[in-house]
Amino acid sequence: MKIKKVHQWICLLLIILAPITQATEKKFRWKMVTTWPPHFPIFQIGVEKFAKDIEDMSNGRLKIKVSAGGELVPALQTFDAVSQGLVQMGHGSAYYWAGKIPAAQFMSAVPFGMTAKGMNAWFYKGGGLKLWRDLYQPFGVIPFPAGNSGVQMGGWFKKKINSLEDLKGLKMRIPGLGGKVLSKAGVATKLLAVGEIYTALERGNIDATEFVGPFHDQRLGLYRAAKYYYYPGWHEPGAVMELIVNKKAWQSLPKDLQKIVEIATRALNQWMYNEFEGLNIKALRELTQQYKVEVLPFPDDVIKELKRLTVETLEEESAKDAKFKQVYEAFKAFQADHDAWNAIADEAYSKALAK
Ligand code: CA
């Protein structure tokens, strides 16, 4: 009887106190910018979904207003905007900051590097995320893996590539380390914004271009400007997207909201990868069956030479920057182990399937 009474009192007290607790629960209103064009499929759409997930999971306590590249700040100022605290969050890919942090390129795409599964294992189980956080630490920015394109395609070519000779003098749009490697092979590489690629290829200002994979390339209409579609995307075997958070803003979040952001980011990381895989399958079928695109592998000697030039490029970059060297060594060691496992796992299974 007595216990029942006490219980009733506690319940009553909780009912009276509930509105007070709710009122004191702080609401956060954050801004987020991205490097992607408005409505850009998978990339920008995924980020908007991520913000909505966080709002739902936190019952509106953390609301994030997402702006596409150029809407609030230019796309390539995303990192600075987060670092300076102009906005609390950003989404992009680490190789965009190569000018500021050369080693950041290992956190997005390295030619002949690891695919999505290797990259995720490196980040979460191989010390990669710790190295990444150390790199961004001086800028007051905390990174998280937040998406993966899967293996990209090698690109669209107007003429067939039968040998290394065919690469010489070719004008190609290809950014990053892959571009540096191709320059060594005699390709005149160009940097073009997404909006300029199709016209440049169609008018013959460039002879070849890489973009992403079947889904995005089809949407850009590249099959109308070049006939040969080469694989594999040796230069971007599993491009990683990143979520970046301003460190002070992160520290101002209560533990439960930090947890929600962390789990939502893991979900985004997986979601993007699944979207790419699913949509690429469908687009590849349409490109080959409907648009009669010729899908071809790069010749073996071309791949071998690009691989040799990649090592040369990475060694050269290591000599220029101590942090690049440190991350390269760690990345290389993890990849060697991963490749050994992969050879008897996924790779062996693919070979078995093809028999
Ligand atoms: Ca690409």
| DSSP track, 282-338 | HHHHHHHHTS--EEEEPPHHHHHHHHHHHHHHHHHHHHH-HHHHHHHHHHHHHHHHH
CATH 3.40.190.10 domain residues, the chain = 155-237+288-347
pTM confidence score: 0.91
Please tell me whether residue 240 adopts helix, strand or coil conformation. strand
CA of 174 to the centre of ligand 1 (A): 7
pLDDT digits (tens, 9 = 90+) for 280-336: 999 999 999 999 999 999 999 999 999 999 999 999 999 999 999 999 999 999 999
The pocket of ion ligand 1, defined by CB under 5 A, consists of 152, 236
Distance 289 CA to ligand 1 centre (A): 24
Stretch(es) of the chain classified as CATH 3.40.190.170: 29-146+241-278
Question: Ligand 1 centre and the CA of 237: distance in Å?
Answer: 9
The C-alpha angle 331, 335, 338, rounded to 5 degrees, equals 145
As a whole number, mean pLDDT of residues 216-242 equals 97
| Residue scoring higher pLDDT (86 or 15) | 86
**C-alpha span between 56 and 288 (Å, rounded):** 41
Provide the pairing of β-strand 28-34 with 89-92: parallel
Q: So what's the architecture of 155-237+288-347 in CATH? A: 3-Layer(aba) Sandwich (3.40)
Query: Which residues on neighbouring strands pair with residue 190, listed in sequence order?
Result: 173
210 alpha carbon – ligand 1 mean position (Å): 6
Centre of ligand 1 from the C-alpha of residue 56, in Å: 33
Banded pLDDT at 62 (limits 50, 70, 90): very high
226 C-alpha to ligand 1 centroid (Å):
17
Q: 212 C-alpha to center of ligand 1: Å?
A: 4
3-state SS, residue 153: coil
Q: How far apart are CA 46 and CA 31, in angstroms?
A: 16
- Ligand 1 centroid – CA 27 distance (Å): 38
CATH class of 29-146+241-278: alpha beta
In sign, the C-alpha dihedral spanning 218, 113, 122, 347 is positive
Res 194 pLDDT > 90? no
15 has pLDDT over 60:
no
Average pLDDT over all residues of the chain = 94
